Amino acid sequence: MLRFRILGPLSVTAAGREVAITAGRDRVVLAMLLLHQGRIVGFEELIDAVWPDRPPVTARGQLQTCVSRLRRTLGPDVILTDPAGYGIGCGEEDLDAAVFIRLISQARAVAAGGDTVAGRELFRKALGLWRGPVLTGLDVPAVRQRGAVLDEQYASAVEDRVDLDLAADRDPDLLAELTGLVERFPLRERLRAQLMLALHRAGRQAGALAEYRRFRDLVREELAIEPGAALQEVHRRILLGEPAAPRPPAPGPEAVDSLPRVVGDFTGRDELTARLLATMDSADPVPAVRVIDGMAGSGKTTFAVHLAGLLRDRFPDASLFVDLQGHSDERPLLPEAALVTLLRQLGVPADHIPDHLDERVRLWRGELATRRSIVVLDNAASTAQVLPLLPASGNTLVLITSRRRLAGLDGVQPESLPVLDDAEAVALLARIVGARVAAEPEAALEVVRRCGRLPLAIRLAGARLAHRPRWQVADLLRRLGDAALPELAAEDRTVASAFALSYGQLPERAQRMFRLLGLHPGERFEALAAAALADESLASARDLLDDLLDVHLVEEPEPEVYRLHDLLREYAEMLAAELSAAERRDAVGRLLDFHLHAFLAANDGPQRAIVAVDLGSATPRRPDLAAALEDPIAHLERERPNLAAFADAAMAADQPELVWRLPRAAWRFLYTRGYVTEVDALLRRGLEAARELGDDSAVAISANYLASSAQRLGRRDEARGLLELAIRLSRGIDAVNTVRSMGNLAVIYESEGRFDKMIECSRQALRIGLSVPSDRVHAGLQHGAVGAGHARLGRFGPALHHLRLRLQLATTTEDTVGVASSLHHIARVKWQAGLAGAATTRRMLTAALRLSRSVGWTIGEAEGLGQLAQLDHAEGHTGTAIEQVEQAIAVVDRIGHHRYGAWYRVHRGAFLLAVGDVAGAAESCEDALRLARTRFPYEWALALSGRAAVHLAQGDAGSARRLLEQALTMFARMGVPERHDVERRLAELDSGQDQLRTPAGGGRMEA
């Protein structure tokens, strides 16, 4: 069992023995996965971690190589692969950080329950897991940033444990420990306060006061701030000799405090609080103004009041608050009325307040001129409302909260308050509910996620749970279900009503846009999609989305790409449900029609013509939007996660024909880029929809393309049945579909090692294709298949003839994939036939690889890397060959292409054997056998031949002979020339020449 430790230097052990992870990049990748245990880490996030400055072009491939090396070291099941990235498959008890978090959670719960002795012991056990700062020695920004979170949790746990020690007053070593901790964490006020208390209790009052002076000088010099109120209070109590009896400082006679009650369970916002505190300076000649905006329920008022409370000591004369009612059932407060409220808080008699606005503004600013004050202007409606309320002097800090972005306030630093992160959200729920949250961490995390990590929603959900002591967190989670919004209510407070206030203040067209966004399937959408959904021009759609952005009803995570918060999406769906069925159907139809034609545009020229034949020649409903789409490929990549939701929406809108049309339009992109599992699920639904429609042509088209993914995913019998269905429905009616399906059937014969049958099927397809002379794309494909079949059988002359025809047709039709594929095959055949040298072959393969990458053709990329690896090995550059073939394996593993995965593993085994890594070669060949056995006869026989070479290197001639005989039988049945190589090796064994021989395909490129 593997154990991982990150609380200190990175360490991996198995059965108590260290497992060496020496490569720097491998350590970074493993560290990132362990820091994010329990979730998938995206490829881009990992690449940014490994190459923080400028990732190389080959970063994705090199990342896959790192993962492959880690899998060989840690085992095949430790690192999880997902279409979005990688994860770590270790249990919580196998990672020291997870154990630490569990123990400190238990310690806090136990201590809160009154058992301080057990709490202290749990804290000590948790802190004993630490061997130094997180991942010491990995000086990588992404690792350090994430590790800092754990380091902060460590320091907080130390402080909690010290509080218990101070309360117990039994630890003789506490004073020495605190001295060391303060040296290690010099800016932590709580630790400094604990050291001061410990010194005072030890009779060292002067030392305690000196510690305060040292800290005050430090923060003044480094941060230009004063010690916080809590530390000042400890200092005051020590001066008075009362360290055990905390008492809030008495306000001076002139102080004014009109702030609302500070919420006792305020949680999170630590980074934002620290950053804002560091920017506040009462000596600034102009007033400090900060705007805190955010969506309804994000906790703007709570945060502003909390921040104001922390700053009372810097602005001691007045703390003022007024609700401007910018988003409430009442009309927004006029500036004149707001000034009356503020002036009365300062003690100005009512009869001394002037009637006119200008005079009130002068009086207000005059009153503030001699005071160091904080003013909280809550719930602002507009810039015009707050401008008269801003002071003129630099003695005042103004905190403005608003659901609207107040862009008209010049020179003001806005802060958009995000939702809480997972840890903050769970912590808030725990402070409201108590120990039940710690007892059910997974359910608690899901509850806060169902609440969208929105503070108001979490408070309302927590209130329901707090008032139901017999409920578990899982009970609340079940009540939230798939639609949380109706459940998020307490008395007259609801999340929906908070949203309704923002929505109700929008202009009618912006309201309509928001309602219709409730119909959008999927999380993110572009401005073009919103324009199609609402039947607006692109310019109008952008303006309406800006209106929604200004009041935080939508978010814009990247330019021109938008999303709704989860609860806002629910609210929009509720509003959309009030539309008529016809309105909903028309809006979804417009949206999906736009995407259909956008996906069509993502196909290159010849493929676009083929898709257009399948889908018919219908023009887009909104040609203006189709013309405005700048990058169809990028659009399709962004919309890929939404495709299943599009199918759901099409069915709900009674437009089942789109269920097969959309994946057909997107097929080329999805298939060539390795999203095979996704396209398989989409095409299966498309086939079902086509059958329900009774459309034989649609059934044949869907069956053909579903067969391609079924074959790739190892469901060969299903693929053959689908192709036979497609051929039967198309024969005599649709020659293009017939040729296409017969060509795909030839691919199945190839995977079965039936190369003569592959050639025969492709020739039949060519003959049928003569009736469609304009279909040069499929003719090229069939010539390529015939050429590949001849090459596999060692007939190099016919192979080159058909492959050159394939290249010619691909060039004339501007089929980049076809050109790259032709170059791959021609280079390999000419090299095998001795018709081209290494330099020429390398030029062709490099060109093919470049073309493959330019269009995102993943199989072509893998094939280019694999063939270049074989060429490098043949020229004696086996180290480079191993690197290249590792990259090829990473590519095919990512897209789940097991046949190529087996093939390249055989070659890797041969390369490793050549450099003396017998164990690595054995493992690679065994992996190849596992992937190919019974499914891919040619690759299976290659793997047997490669494993035989390993046995021979290990001195086991008997096992080598048995494997070679099995491989010979299979190669002979297929009629491929590899049988001659195996015959020679068997003859050498018979004659006693048992020296190491490279297996078939190891020293030359395979056909």
pLDDT at 358: 87
CA angle 801, 802, 805 (to 5 degrees): 95
**Does residue 84 share a domain with residue 16?**
yes
Domain that holds residue 971: 897-1007
DSSP state of 487: G
**Does residue 226 share a domain with residue 102?**
no
Residue at 777 is within a domain: no
Residue at 604 is within a domain: no
pLDDT digits (tens, 9 = 90+) for 231-280: 888 888 888 877 543 333 333 335 888 888 766 667 778 888 888 887 77
**Does residue 98 share a domain with residue 60?**
yes
CA distance 837 to 238: 88
- Final residue of a structural domain among 479, 498, 517: 498
Q: Which amino acid is at 265?
A: D
Residue at 959 is within a domain: yes
Residue at 734 is within a domain: no
Residue at 639 is within a domain: no
- Final residue of a structural domain among 152, 181, 205: 152
**Does residue 277 share a domain with residue 409?**
yes
**How distant is the alpha carbon of residue 368 from its chain centre?**
49
Buried b (16+ CB within 10 A) or exposed e, 131-159: eebbbeebebebbeebbeebbebbbebbb
**Does residue 406 share a domain with residue 427?**
no
Task: Look at strands 318-323 and 373-378 and give their pairing.
Answer: parallel
Burial of 505 (0-12, 13-18, 19+ CB in 10 A): middle
Buried b (16+ CB within 10 A) or exposed e, 616-648: eeeebbbeebbeebeebeebbbbbbebbbebbe
**Does residue 185 share a domain with residue 82?**
no
Contact in structure between 45 and 85 (CB atoms under 8 Å): yes
**Does residue 71 share a domain with residue 15?**
yes
Low-confidence ranges of the chain (pLDDT < 50): 244-253, 282-283, 285, 996-998, 1000-1007
**Does residue 428 share a domain with residue 401?**
no
pLDDT digits (tens, 9 = 90+) for 819-850: 999 999 999 999 999 999 999 999 999 999 99
- Final residue of a structural domain among 413, 448, 469: 413
pLDDT at 223: 59
Residue at 34 is within a domain: yes
End-to-end CA distance of the chain: 43
Indicate which CATH number applies to the domain containing 333: 3.40.50.300
pLDDT digits (tens, 9 = 90+) for 75-134: 888 898 887 789 998 888 899 999 998 898 888 888 877 888 898 899 999 999 999 889
CA contacts within 13 A on the Cβ side of 480: 25
Indicate which CATH number applies to the domain containing 12: 1.10.10.10
CA distance 498 to 513: 19
**Does residue 442 share a domain with residue 407?**
no
pLDDT at 355: 82
Residue at 850 is within a domain: no
- E strands, 183-316, are 256-257, 288-293
**Does residue 190 share a domain with residue 68?**
no
Q: How many domains does the chain have?
A: 5
Contact in structure between 727 and 745 (CB atoms under 8 Å): yes
Indicate which CATH number applies to the domain containing 986: 1.25.40
- The structure's pTM equals 0.65
**Does residue 88 share a domain with residue 17?**
yes
* C-alpha distances out from residue 284 to 267, 396, 411, 950, Å: 30, 9, 14, 77
**Does residue 148 share a domain with residue 52?**
yes
Residue at 601 is within a domain: no
Q: Which among 294, 326, 334 has a CA at the least distance from the CA of 501?
A: 326
